[in-house]
Amino acid sequence: MADTAAGSITDKIRMCSIPEKFQLHLAMLALQFGYAGFHVVSRAALNMGISKIVFAVYRNILALLLLLPFAYFLEKKERPALTWSFIIQFFLLAVVGITANQGFYLLGLDNTSPTFASAIQNSVPAITFVMAAILRIEKVRLDRKDGISKVVGTLFCVTGASVITLYKGPTIYSPSLPPVQNTAPILLLNLGNADGKNWTLGCIFLIGHCLSWSAWLVLQAPILKKYPARLSFTSYQCFFGVIQFLVIAAFMERDIQAWLVHSGGELFSVFYAGVVASGIAFAVQIWCIERGGPVFVAVYQPVQTLVVAIMASAALGEEFYLGGIIGAVLIIVGLYLVLWGKNEERKFSMQKNAIQSNADHGTNQTIINHNKSSLAQPLISQSTENV
């Protein structure tokens, strides 16, 4: 989305002595910490009383304002002409990737916790694989170990998400709050607490969020081939996302007071979501995908779950439940099985291409030698006749 902007920054970094592979690892770790902070900050904002719709509108407005100047100035030459076909596709992608994606996420987070929201997100690569296989974008070979690994990993991810949804279980760990926190307002003490909420419904919303996210990843690929200006591509989606949330707000959020920022905490949460979790994160992630590949980027997703669990426990006093821990482990194991299968598939494809290339080279060399013999034969015959 922001490969041009991120590329110019990384070109300057590359002048230093830091190897690019090390830069990729640092960037992905920073990205996971950024997303982990987003889970915690978003939950804190919801507990402060900020409207879910208002939060989404302000987040996408900030992301749009951040991306728009870069898209306008850096992609003048490579931006294709905007047609009605592109407008319709951008609008539909915004419905799936922004409105449904973010809406389901906030509804799910409000009824669960940051740790479980992050844990269920680990199923996104596996769900994306299933969707791509159904649409025949991804090939599934059950006669090879890589194909079996991808299928088994997908089943693990689905099972893990189901366990988190259907089984909460007993409390495994309940952090003890220090004496200083005991004097804090009740609101701060309950930031990580989802008591009184519908846990199962929240997990269902989060699964809807993962389905929307996966569908967006699959559907945008063919459009990006026709519209390679990634910054503009993302900006158009943010624009339509704002319009769609405003239409929803016209029916569901008519209270003027809900649109006012009442505290510094609400302002910080909106700013963090729009600038860090949307604008900057998009640029870093696209650069990492370009340099390291999608498998490399996806491998770091489980790191986010661990970071969220630690941050939520330390900052929000969040409790750990048995069902969530079991589900998270299943999802992480499933994720790595899928990624291992993808990596083995890539190696097999490279070996096959290398063998084919060598075979083609050998065939071409035989043809060349045959042609040389054919050219030499008349000369030999002619010289023999002259003698």
The dihedral sign for the CA sequence 238, 239, 240, 246: positive
Greater confidence (48 vs 387) lies with: 48
Q: What is the mean pLDDT of residues 160-168?
A: 72
pLDDT of 370 strictly over 90: no
pLDDT band, residue 75 (cuts 50/70/90) = confident
What string of H, E and C letters represents the secondary structure of the chain? CCHHHHHHHHHHHHCCCCCHHHHHHHHHHHHHHHHHHHHHHHHHHHHHCCCHHHHHHHHHHHHHHHHHHHHHHHCCCCCCCCCHHHHHHHHHHHHHHHHHHHHHHHHHHHHCCHHHHHHHHCCHHHHHHHHHHHCCCCCCCCCCHHHHHHHHHHHHHHHHHHHHHHCCCCEEECCCCCHHHHCCCHHHHCCCCCCCCCHHHHHHHHHHHHHHHHHHHHHHHHHHHHCCCHHHHHHHHHHHHHHHHHHHHHHHCCCHHHHCCCCHHHHHHHHHHHHHHHHHHHHHHHHHHHHHCHHHHHHCHHHHHHHHHHHHHHHHCCCEEHHHHHHHHHHHHHHHHHHHHHHHHHHHHHHHHHHHHHHHHHHHHHHHHHHHHHHHHHHHHHHHHHC
Greater confidence (331 vs 249) lies with: 249
Using alpha carbons, select from 143, 59, 65, 43 the residue that is nearest to residue 102: 59
Range of weakest confidence among 97-106, 199-208, 264-273, 340-349:
340-349
pLDDT band, residue 379 (cuts 50/70/90) = very low
What's this model's pTM, rounded to 2 decimal places? 0.70
201-234 as b/e, with b when 16 or more CB fall inside 10 Å?
Answer: ebbbbbbbbbbbbbbbbbbbeebeeebebbbbbb
pLDDT band, residue 186 (cuts 50/70/90) = very low
Range of weakest confidence among 11-20, 151-160, 303-312:
11-20
- Mean pLDDT value across the chain: 76
Could you tell me which residues are beta bridge partners of residue 321?
171
Q: pLDDT by residue (tens digit) across 204-258?
A: 999 999 999 888 878 887 887 888 888 888 889 999 999 999 999 999 888 888 8
Which pLDDT value is given to residue 224? Answer: 79
Q: What is the mean pLDDT of residues 125-134?
A: 78
pLDDT of 184 strictly over 50: no
- Of all residues in the chain, the percent with pLDDT exceeding 70 is 74
pLDDT band, residue 180 (cuts 50/70/90) = very low
Which pLDDT value is given to residue 383? Answer: 41
271-304 as b/e, with b when 16 or more CB fall inside 10 Å?
Answer: ebbbbbbbbbbbbbbbbbbebbebbbbbbbbbbb
Range of weakest confidence among 83-97, 167-181, 192-206, 251-265:
167-181
Which pLDDT value is given to residue 32? Answer: 84
Q: What is the mean pLDDT of residues 173-186?
A: 47
Amino acid at 188: L
pLDDT of 298 strictly over 70: no
- Of all residues in the chain, the percent with pLDDT exceeding 90 is 14
